[in-house]
Amino acid sequence: MIVDCHTQTWDANAHLGAAATAIAEPDIQADSTRHLRAVDPVDRAIVLAFKSRYLDVEIPNRYVSEYVHRNASKLIGFAGVDPTDEGCLDELAMVQEELGLKGVTVSPTLQDFHPADTRAMELYAECIRRGMPVLFEQNHRSPAAKMEFARPMLLDEVAREFPDLRIVVSHMGYPWVHETIALLAKHKHVYADIAGLLRHPWLSYNALMSACECGVMDKLLFGSGFPVRAPAECIEALYSINQSMGTSLMAIPREKLRGIVERDALALLGIDQPTPLVPKSRTNALMDDE
């Protein structure tokens, strides 16, 4: 099974808000039609919603839920929840029980909180109770992003406090890749996706070779980072990583690369029912769309 663990889509006219460049490159096309076409080569794709009060940016949970429902055999939705929002625990209940979303996306850098902030820790505890994995979005494109909160080592306290919490560190924690590798080696339920890395062959080669040498290749999950790059391009780049480095460097074993592509990320993250619930108020409208 090929699972793309890191994709996004949005309506450029209605979503994101004033600080759109915080999570997207200028003029990038991320509409749902393009998204669905791009993820066709993979078996399943996780679609990430997002919310930041700090930057006034949002990809709404309801938008993601409705899109995922229309394509339930292919897509799985993760909610965007902001731990700094006073009602975040109520929102967590709603996105699981009403919208049928399966995991949570947070971003200390873009939501302005320390990963071990008391409010965030309460959210993680509830995620464990509800069986929802948490993806830490490490994107720090915005000049306002708090890079000091992006250090993967800050997640060590979270993983120690909540050893049963399924954690995904996006982008392998770039630029602190080696901190991420240390986390993967230390904690059973900490994983990392490779979204965004494969645009940079030298960076990718060094990150993957380090993971291979440290024995944590089985903790890496495939992620394209769409709309920045399509899954098919990323798979091709991953399989070509040794050739792009020439013949003078040690090759990363192909079976290790194939393991990243074909890993059953859904099982590792404890996602057992990918088909979402239908928001009651929208049931008829969704059926009409189909």
Q: What is the secondary structure of 132-155 as a DSSP string? A: --EEE-----STT--GGG--GGGH
Whether residue 267 is contained in a domain is answered as yes
Question: In sequence order, what are the residues at sequence separation of 6 or more whose Cβ sits closer than 8 angstroms to the Cβ of residue 156?
Answer: 183, 186, 187
CATH at residue 180:
3.20.20.140
Confidence class for position 26, pLDDT limits 50, 70, 90? low
Whether residue 2 is contained in a domain is answered as no
Whether residue 6 is contained in a domain is answered as no
Whole-structure pTM value: 0.91
Whether residue 95 is contained in a domain is answered as yes
Write out pLDDT tens, residues 4-19.
999 999 987 667 665 5
Whether residue 244 is contained in a domain is answered as yes
Whether residue 1 is contained in a domain is answered as no
| Dihedral Cα 229, 27, 44, 88, nearest 10 deg | 120
Give the range of the structural domain holding residue 89, as residue numbers without chain letter.
28-289
Whether residue 169 is contained in a domain is answered as yes
Per the structure, how many domains does the chain have?
1
Write out pLDDT tens, residues 135-147.
999 988 889 999 9
CB distance 54 to 111 below 8 Å: yes
Whether residue 7 is contained in a domain is answered as no
